[in-house]
């Protein structure tokens, strides 16, 4: 590829001068400037970003650690970050670290080697302690979708617990009194927090959640189908189900309807996340919105701000899921 020197040689000037015109630097004579500009176009010169990064110690790159690009949730997350990075003329470097501590660590390391300006990390598997150490060492890291008290001003997170409470209040207001829950088998905090919030809120209304009505499965559509089958087979009574996420909720609905139960007439269902699917399932799904796009944008802004001194953390860090009332929940009357 053409380099600064090539241009300099062709123009009969020093490479410093060429560098100046490339960077619109301090005054260069208009004649020279024009001549060099022409040469740059003609010879198809493109500055080498690596060389630049090396000398300036800036990389115009924002790194993102996510488990999987194709998952709509993470795709939306990445997109949120991309939106703000484009505004700042930065680029997205994605490092996929799927759900093991080892691979998350590896993903972070790769980004570290790239000397990204800043890094937004979605990590569910690395332990709190390790993350805390890591974040102390790298002031430009930001954690998304997870709250750790010791580094709380660098966590952009959703209050899952509150989400569970909101779900409970919604169903309670609809006069439901017997509940079931479908949760995820994945060993992360989110399902526990959502469930705990839900159960706590029931308790406040003097309802003890019967753990026989709790079923776990994989957090997928199929998982939801299976969980609903289990629930049905158990012969327990319930008029409403709080489901870990929308995919499972939609799976559960299809099982229920296949078994002659109508949603919401016989059973109310509430999901979590508000993915695209939720809006177009039949019945349309009542759910709790996970504003991941917005959160990602905030995380990116925070990250960018943290990457430069002085660090000011005025960002919104904690997000509350919002109830999206659609058609899968209704008043209980029997």
Residue 75 found at the interface with a copy of itself (CB under 8 A): yes
Strand partners, 43: none
Binding to a copy of itself, residues 133-162 (CB under 8 A): 137
Residue nearer to a copy of itself on the CB measure, 168 or 269: 269
Q: Cα separations (Å) of 28 from 19, 37, 259? A: 10, 12, 79
Q: How many residues bind a copy of itself (CB under 8 A)?
A: 45
User: Which residue in the set 5, 37, 38, 46 belongs to the binding site for a copy of itself (CB under 8 A)?
Assistant: 46
User: Which residue in the set 43, 53, 101, 188 belongs to the binding site for a copy of itself (CB under 8 A)?
Assistant: 53
| Partner touching 42 among a copy of itself, DNA, none, CB below 5 to 8 Å by kind | none
**Cis upstream peptide for 224 (omega within 30°):** no
Q: How far is the CB of 31 from a copy of itself (least distance, A)?
A: 26
Residue 221 found at the interface with a copy of itself (CB under 8 A): yes
User: Which residue in the set 11, 18, 36, 78 belongs to the binding site for a copy of itself (CB under 8 A)?
Assistant: 78
CA angle 131, 123, 296 (to 5 degrees): 110
- List, in sequence order, every beta strand (DSSP E) within 212-260: 214-217, 240-243
Contact assessment for residue 249 and residue 243, using Cβ atoms and an 8 Å cutoff: yes
Can you give the binding site for DNA, defined by CB under 7 A?
1, 3-5, 12-17, 19-20, 22-23, 25-29, 31-33, 45-48, 51-52, 54-57
Whole-angstrom distance, CA of residue 5 vs CA of residue 162: 60
136 contacts: CB under 8 Å, gap ≥ 6: 151
User: Which residue in the set 22, 99, 112, 172 belongs to the binding site for a copy of itself (CB under 8 A)?
Assistant: 112
- List, in sequence order, every beta strand (DSSP E) within 97-154: 118-121, 141-144
Instruction: Pick the stretch among 21-29, 47-55, 180-188, 203-211 that binds a copy of itself (CB under 8 A).
Output: 47-55
Whole-angstrom distance, CA of residue 303 vs CA of residue 228: 41
Which residues contact a copy of itself (rule: CB under 8 A)?
1, 44, 46-51, 53-54, 59, 61, 68-72, 75-76, 78-79, 82, 86, 91-96, 109-110, 112-115, 137, 221, 250, 254, 276-277, 280-282, 293
């Amino acid at each position: 590829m053409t380099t600064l020197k090539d241009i300099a040689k062709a123009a009969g000037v020093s490479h410093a001068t060429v560098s100046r015109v490339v960077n619109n630097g301090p005054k260069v004579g208009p004649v020279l400037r024009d001549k060099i500009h022409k040469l740059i176009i003609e010879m198809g010169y493109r500055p080498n970003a690596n060389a630049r990064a090396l000398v300036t110690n800036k990389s115009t790159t924002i790194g993102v650690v996510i488990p999987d690009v194709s998952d709509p949730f993470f795709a939306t997350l990445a997109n949120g970050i991309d939106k703000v990075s484009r505004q700042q003329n930065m680029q997205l470097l994605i490092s996929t670290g799927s759900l093991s501590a080892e691979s998350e660590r590896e993903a972070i390391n790769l980004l570290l080697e790239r000397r990204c300006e800043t890094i937004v990390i979605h990590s569910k598997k690395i332990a709190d302690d390790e993350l805390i150490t890591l974040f102390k060492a790298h002031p430009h890291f930001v954690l998304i979708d997870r709250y750790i008290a010791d580094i709380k001003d660098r966590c952009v997170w959703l209050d899952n617990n509150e989400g569970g409470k909101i779900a409970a209040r919604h169903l309670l207001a609809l006069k439901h009194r017997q509940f079931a829950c479908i949760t995820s088998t994945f060993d992360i905090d989110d399902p526990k927090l959502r469930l705990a919030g839900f159960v706590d809120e029931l308790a406040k209304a003097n309802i003890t959640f019967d753990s026989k009505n709790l079923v776990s499965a994989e957090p997928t559509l199929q998982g939801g189908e299976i969980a609903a089958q289990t629930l049905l087979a158990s012969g327990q009574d319930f008029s409403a189900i709080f489901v870990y996420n929308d995919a499972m909720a939609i799976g559960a609905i299809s099982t229920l309807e296949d078994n002659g139960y109508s949603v919401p007439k016989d059973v109310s269902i509430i999901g979590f996340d508000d993915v695209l699917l939720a809006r177009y399932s039949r019945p349309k799904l009542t759910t709790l919105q996970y504003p991941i796009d917005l959160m990602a944008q905030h995380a990116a802004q925070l990250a960018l701000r943290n990457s430069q001194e002085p660090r000011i953390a005025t960002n919104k860090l904690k997000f509350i899921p919002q109830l999206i009332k659609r058609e899968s929940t209704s008043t209980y009357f029997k």
